[in-house]
Amino acid sequence: MKTQEDELRQELDSVDGYSAIKQVATHLGEYTKLKLEYHSLDSAEKVGSGISSAVFIVVTLILALLAYFFVMLFAGFALSYYTDSAMTGFGIIAGFHVFLLLLYALIHKLFIKKTITDTIMVKALKAIKKDG
């Protein structure tokens, strides 16, 4: 009764050296082609995931800005009602936004830019470490 190991030995003994090298070269070529295909599919998946996330973020920002616009419009009308002047009510809202803009300009370089840069670098390094 022949075992699987005996069958493999017999098959290997019947193969000459040139044929074995040819088979190794053939399998190496197939392996290389499959590895390249795997990496291109993996890259396509990552690009697709990135685009999907970007689209989600853009749509979310558009909807959030639309909601913010209507809330500020409501706040302007509400302040107009309480101050008995549309110009004063909407002026207060405009002043609030100018204040927020100045505050953002002052703290942007100190906190926000560094935080965003650090976050992006950490994620990029994690992705490189995961792939490598």
Q: Is the pTM of this model over 0.85?
A: no
pLDDT digits (tens, 9 = 90+) for 115-129: 777 777 777 777 777
Q: What amino acid occupies position 28?
A: L
C-alpha distance across the termini of the chain, in Å: 47
Residue 84 tokens read as 């008995």
pLDDT digits (tens, 9 = 90+) for 74-122: 999 999 999 999 999 999 999 999 999 999 888 877 777 777 777 777 7
Contacts of 29 (CB under 8 A, 6+ apart): none
